[in-house]
Structure 1
Amino acid sequence: MGRIIAVANQKGGVGKTTTSINLAACLAEKGKKVLAVDMDPQGNLTSGLGVDKDSVEKSIYELIIGEVDIKEVINKEVLENLDIIPTSIDLSAAEIELIGVDDKEYILRNAIDQVKDQYDFVIIDCPPSLSMLTINAMTTADSVIVPIQCEYYALEGLSQLIHTVELVKDRLNSKLEIEGVVFTMYDARTNLSLQVVENVKDNLQQNIYKTIIPRNIRLAEAPSYGLPINKYDPKSTGAESYMRLADEVIEREE
């Protein structure tokens, strides 16, 4: 039965989509069957895995508003062992279209329930806001991975996100846990990165992954080629870091 992980942080630019793309691709490379779900209307996970988000005929938007079945929106084998449910810009309107819909918090869960047994992992990339789309991801997920950028305001907004996870757990999804925090954009040349890591470790009663994702030019380039880092430059420090993160995620599963 598939383990469902939402990658969430309502702060933008923290490496959330980069983590979703590369964790999904590295898990797939390690022989796990993975479904990546793009819940962000910006569509960066979709394009980062080589799918043209402007020409997608059936996306998560059509699924959310009930026009199609989940099997119709899964793009099979965009990479070996990796399927994707793409998004389109239309998804940004879903919030309004769902006003007055019964059980709208569970639309994604009800859909994913039909296919999750076919996968080892389902990775959901959330939008950088605490919207109905994020709530849908959290009611579907078993756990949440929170990417945190190694910068001065890292902890800002984090307590709000943890509060949201607790609320969802309380009211909508009793099995939801915070899987852990992963540090991104770490720059070993600055004291600040080190201080942020120490500060978060001291102040956060959460699981923190041992793997720290470095600031890496190859990681930044890869999405423009529609490739995850392990395909774009498997020898880069970015690729090695995400492979180690995938190992940690698998270990926790076991």
Structure 2
Amino acid sequence: MGATVVSLINMKGGVGKTTLAVGLAWELARSHKVLLVDVDPQFNATQWVVPAAEYLKWLKSKHTIFDVFQPPGGTSFSSGATAKTQAKQPTPRSTIISVKSGGLTLDIVPSSLELMKLDAAPRGTENRLRVFLKSVRDKYDHILIDCPPTTSLFSYSAFLASDAYLVPVKPDPLSVLGLPLLERAMEDYVERSGQQLPRLGLVFTQVRQTDAMKSTMKQVRESYPDDVFAEMIIQTTGVAEAVETNTPLQFYTKGGKFSDVRAALGGICVEYVARVEELL
């Protein structure tokens, strides 16, 4: 079977989804072969993991997730790709970037703003991600998909390609409103596809120890018993700087309570692996 494929998804934006996706991917990379797939048109995970100069160079002759969604023999490839690349279908070698940091290696399928062009793609496009990942599953232990905070072609494609999904939750009342929306979206996807997708769990993100957040976390734990991970990611300053320097949170040391974040990511990773093994 190869890698376990898990989508990180929440219908509410600004909940630390990419922070969790990138942090968990790097943490898993300590002892596993990991592929991170960015299907968010905002491509925040890509910007964090891949240095800008390398990304811009890649766009000139290689593929992104945009090309994975293109039909075989199609001509609507990345605008920056060369004619030689346009004539070819995306392959793992032309689509996956290997990035090294702190002695670790993380592979990523980069995203692109061009995904916006595919919002009204022809029928069948939603299966292309699943087909592509099937071709590389044997090379990895874990594949994480960073999804957009919307019900869209890209989220549905991730659903079809995944074995389970993981939900980052910012424990404030407005963000928690996204959970029922997510459940309805999942029900719709199940109805459309005829396949079930188990929920791996919920991870609290951007946590501040205020009375309001403590109360919200208590309510979520009561509403979703056994779903909430033990560790949580606290809100900390310096994440933007870590992104700008393409530094994993595990290795970022300037400002903020990053020792707490590193410990939390370690705990989340251990529980993640245990849940994957138990569920699948």
**What is the CA deviation profile of residues 155-182 of structure 1, one whole-angstrom value per residue up to 9, with x for unaligned ones?**
2121121122233234426251111111
Alpha-carbon distance between aligned partners in 1 of 2:245 and 2:228, rounded to the nearest angstrom: 31
Structure 2 residue 167 is the aligned partner of structure 1 residue 146: yes
Structure 2 residue 153 is the aligned partner of structure 1 residue 132: yes
Alpha-carbon distance between aligned partners in 1 of 2:258 and 2:39, rounded to the nearest angstrom: 30
Alpha-carbon distance between aligned partners in 1 of 2:142 and 2:49, rounded to the nearest angstrom: 16
Question: Is contact 2:252–2:258 with CA below 8 Å preserved after alignment?
Answer: no
Alpha-carbon distance between aligned partners in 2 of 1:180 and 1:154, rounded to the nearest angstrom: 16
Pairing 1:82-161 to 2, within 5 Å after superposition:
82-96=106-120, 98=121, 100-101=122-123, 103-161=124-182
Alpha-carbon distance between aligned partners in 1 of 2:119 and 2:57, rounded to the nearest angstrom: 22
Pairing 1:69-84 to 2, within 5 Å after superposition:
69-71=90-92, 72-79=94-101, 80-84=104-108
Alpha-carbon distance between aligned partners in 1 of 2:9 and 2:64, rounded to the nearest angstrom: 20
Task: Please report the TM-score for the alignment, with normalisation by the length of structure 1.
Answer: 0.91
The one of 56, 60, 64 equivalent to 1:59 is: 64
**What is the CA deviation profile of residues 171-222 of structure 1, one whole-angstrom value per residue up to 9, with x for unaligned ones?**
426251111111111112x101101101111223561111111111244431
The one of 201, 214, 221 equivalent to 2:234 is: 214
* Greater mean deviation of Cα atoms: 171-180 or 3-12: 171-180
* Greater mean deviation of Cα atoms: 74-83 or 196-205: 74-83
Question: Is contact 1:141–1:176 with CA below 8 Å preserved after alignment?
Answer: yes
Q: Which residue of 2 aligns with 1:16?
A: 17
* Offset at residue 122 of structure 1 (A): 0.4
Counterpart residue type for residue 105 of structure 2: N
Task: Please report the TM-score for the alignment, with normalisation by the length of structure 2.
Answer: 0.83
Counterpart residue type for residue 154 of structure 2: L
Structure 2 residue 251 is the aligned partner of structure 1 residue 231: yes
Unaligned runs of 5+ in 2: 72-76, 78-88
Counterpart residue type for residue 65 of structure 1: Q
Alpha-carbon distance between aligned partners in 2 of 1:4 and 1:39, rounded to the nearest angstrom: 14
Counterpart residue type for residue 217 of structure 2: V
Question: Is contact 1:6–1:125 with CA below 8 Å preserved after alignment?
Answer: yes
* Rg larger for: 2
Alpha-carbon distance between aligned partners in 2 of 1:152 and 1:73, rounded to the nearest angstrom: 39
Q: Which residue of 2 aligns with 1:174?
A: 195
* Offset at residue 235 of structure 1 (A): 5.6
Alpha-carbon distance between aligned partners in 1 of 2:215 and 2:46, rounded to the nearest angstrom: 34
* Greater mean deviation of Cα atoms: 2-11 or 197-206: 197-206
Q: Which residue of 1 aligns with 2:81?
A: none
